Amino acid sequence: MKLQKTYILLLSICFINSCIAAHKSILQEIENHTIGEITFVKDVIPPKDYSKKDILSSFDLKDCKDLNIRFFLDKPLVHYLQKLDTNLPAEELLAKGNFQFSFYVDNTLIYKENLNQGAGTIAEKSTATVFRKPFISSTNEDSWGRFLWMRFMKRGGGEESLTEGSHSLKIEIRPYLETPGIITGNIIAKGEITVNVIKPKVIEEQIKVQPIAANSGWIISENKYDTQKIKELNKKILQEDFKDITSIVVIKNQKLLLEEYFNGADRTTLHDTRSVGKSFASTLLGIAIEDKYIKDENQTLHTFYTLKNFKNYSPEKETITIKNLLMMRSGIDGDDSNPDSPGNEENMYPTPNWLQFALDQPMSKESTNDKKWSYYTAGTIILGDILNKKVPDGLEKYAHKKLFAPLGIQNYQWEYTPQKIANTAGGLRMSSLDYAKYGQLYKNNGVWNKNQILPKKWVQTSLAPQIGLPHTKDEFYGYLFWNKKYTINDISYEVSYCSGNGGNKIFIFKDLPLVIVITAVAYNKPNEVDKIMKEYLLPAIID
């Protein structure tokens, strides 16, 4: 075994050295002073055409459509990782290490991130000495560079630090290794640029609280709130500090307190709230169980499907319950946060049969009777198919008769699976006021206009913090609903909510008479809803 490990290590070193030699020709084309530098460029330029005239000394953040960094190393990343631990072979170094980025604004460290080990290919980190990565891309280029920039700006303090005016932005790159503590090497590349921040001009008339028009379908609330806070929020949205927000609706004590629209949306807009639609699958299952079309949430998959007809059959798959799928604890090897997961939703969408895809997936190797939580969009397709099979006239007509019509919701749009079944994975479009009705139904423990549309027990079970989420201390999951707390003025308020890509939320507060709907189109971008809630909306409307 020792000889085998030594052989692997020697092969790794030989491979790296040969790659370094192969890159000498590239390095010879780059002037010596660029080694160890990060440069900023607008366009995507092939290395052979790259020259000093392409390097930016400054850029205007507001008007910037494309911004790339190109950095030059003396040797590939794996070489620097070997300096941090000389005993590990190359493949293990790359599995435990990567680049560390530090962002300085006006010489103050604002954000530091150790790139996930999966960022970048093994070949790139073993051989490349010249890297080009987008920070801002008009084509939304799929790259760790773009997502790193968004995390710096949205979560790492970048937007707060880059206030209106000119600032210096300095970036340093180091190697890091997790062993399991973090070891960091010396700076291997650094660069600096001037950022000119230009905010859109807004006038007082634009940031005023928007008046609620007639015929909303809601009684208008006479509750007071902090209009100045709302004006500050409106200004942030109009100046694009909070990007891509399309609507905010607040219901307080079952009355309409606030209704505002942005970025071309209005009361008639049907918003694509993505995975908010998953929660509706939970609602319809609760109604179907009450109507006795489905026995209960403890029914197992083998009740509905001959699982041996699908790929990767195992006896354990027979034991998966509706409840497991509602709680994202099926044990199936599907994780939408992991691009390498076979059951990742992006692998499902191109297939001709989403149900087949969902049931074909293997069980996770880590799966046990106490299955771990893993966000598995394809699992909600199974739930939708079960509903479609068991309720009269299919899922779509049943949803209209038993949920939408009683709530007075007439104008909405489903998306569909390839089998033309209403898509319970997401994409159900409604107006903001109708989403508010759905949230208020849960706030009312399933009652609407004195009619018990949804069983009270189902509502309480669905919204309850049933399972703690990984990598968080105080966030939970119920039956296709999320759960957490917001702390305002040292008081914590529990809230359950629907959540969809882009910043779409329906909040149902437990101990406050509040339902809040926020819609947005910031798809695949870090959203700023938590900041909107904690710093503006809740302080403005909590008594």
* Residues 262-309: tens digit of each pLDDT: 999 999 999 999 999 999 999 999 999 999 999 999 999 999 999 999
pLDDT surpassing 90 at residue 432: yes
* Cα separation, 476 vs 481, whole angstroms: 9
pLDDT given for residue 367 in this prediction: 55
Least confident interval from 60-69, 83-92, 227-236, 293-302: 60-69
Same domain, 423 and 481: yes
The string of pLDDT tens digits covering residues 515-532 is 999 999 999 887 889 999
Residue 340 pLDDT class (50, 70, 90 cuts)? confident
**DSSP three-state, residue 152:** helix
**DSSP three-state, residue 216:** coil
pLDDT above 70: percentage of residues in the chain: 93
Note whether 255 and 219 are within 8 A (CB). yes
pLDDT surpassing 90 at residue 16: no
Q: Which of 390, 421, 436 is the last residue of a domain?
A: 390
Residue 540 pLDDT class (50, 70, 90 cuts)? very high
pLDDT surpassing 60 at residue 146: yes
pLDDT surpassing 60 at residue 12: no
What is the domain-level CATH number for residue 470? Answer: 3.40.710.10
By CB neighbour count within 10 A (0-12 exposed, 13-18 middle, 19+ buried), where does 540 fall? buried
Note whether 512 and 542 are within 8 A (CB). yes
Same domain, 379 and 481: no
pLDDT given for residue 5 in this prediction: 41
pLDDT above 90: percentage of residues in the chain: 83
Maximum distance among all Cα pairs of the chain, rounded to whole angstroms: 81
In a domain, 280, yes or no: no
pLDDT given for residue 3 in this prediction: 42
**DSSP three-state, residue 101:** strand
Note every long-range contact of 1-4, with CB atoms under 8 Å and residues 24 or more positions apart, other chains counting. none
Same domain, 32 and 174: yes
The sheet carrying 504-509 orders its strands as: 255-261, 245-252, 514-520, 504-509, 491-500, 482-488, 476-477, 467-468
Residues in CB range of 257: below 8 A, 6 or more apart? 221, 223, 225, 250, 251, 541
Note whether 245 and 262 are within 8 A (CB). yes
Domain count, the chain: 3
pLDDT surpassing 50 at residue 6: no
Q: Residue range 122-145: average pLDDT? A: 93
Same domain, 303 and 412: no
pLDDT surpassing 60 at residue 27: no
Q: Which of 359, 390, 421 is the last residue of a domain?
A: 390
Least confident interval from 24-38, 59-73, 331-345, 488-502: 24-38
Angle at 174 between CA 171 and CA 178, to 5 degrees: 130
Same domain, 181 and 208: no
In a domain, 8, yes or no: no
pLDDT given for residue 64 in this prediction: 81
Q: Residue range 488-494: average pLDDT? A: 96
Answering whether pTM is above 0.95, one says: no
Least confident interval from 191-200, 317-326, 368-377: 368-377
Same domain, 100 and 178: yes
Same domain, 186 and 254: no
Least confident interval from 18-22, 345-349, 396-400: 18-22
pLDDT surpassing 70 at residue 510: yes
In a domain, 249, yes or no: yes
Average pLDDT of the chain to the nearest whole number = 92
| More confident position, 407 or 14 | 407
pLDDT surpassing 50 at residue 20: no
Same domain, 132 and 219: no
Q: Where in the sequence is the domain holding 170, given as residue range(s)?
A: 26-197
Q: Which of 341, 357, 390 is the last residue of a domain?
A: 390
What is the domain-level CATH number for residue 366? Answer: 1.20.58
pLDDT surpassing 90 at residue 348: yes
pLDDT given for residue 244 in this prediction: 94
* Cα separation, 327 vs 162, whole angstroms: 40
Same domain, 214 and 308: no
pLDDT given for residue 74 in this prediction: 94
| 34: β partners | none
In a domain, 7, yes or no: no
Q: Residue range 435-463: average pLDDT? A: 98
Q: Residue range 179-202: average pLDDT? A: 94
CA distance readout (Å), 537 to 103, 232, 248, 426, 517: 30, 10, 9, 26, 11
Same domain, 227 and 192: no
The conformation of residue 473, written as its DSSP 8-state character, comes to S
Burial 262-289 (b: 16+ CB within 10 A, else e): beebebebebbbbbbbbbbbbbbbbbbb
The conformation of residue 139, written as its DSSP 8-state character, comes to T
Same domain, 231 and 299: no
pLDDT given for residue 370 in this prediction: 58
In a domain, 423, yes or no: yes
Angle at 375 between CA 318 and CA 182, to 5 degrees: 120
Q: What would the 3-class secondary structure string for 408-453 be? A: CCCCCECCECCCCCECCCCCCEECHHHHHHHHHHHHCCCEECCEEC
pLDDT given for residue 32 in this prediction: 54
Same domain, 421 and 373: no
In a domain, 399, yes or no: no
In a domain, 519, yes or no: yes
Q: What do you get for the CA distance between the two ends of the chain, in Å?
A: 69
pLDDT given for residue 130 in this prediction: 92
In a domain, 247, yes or no: yes
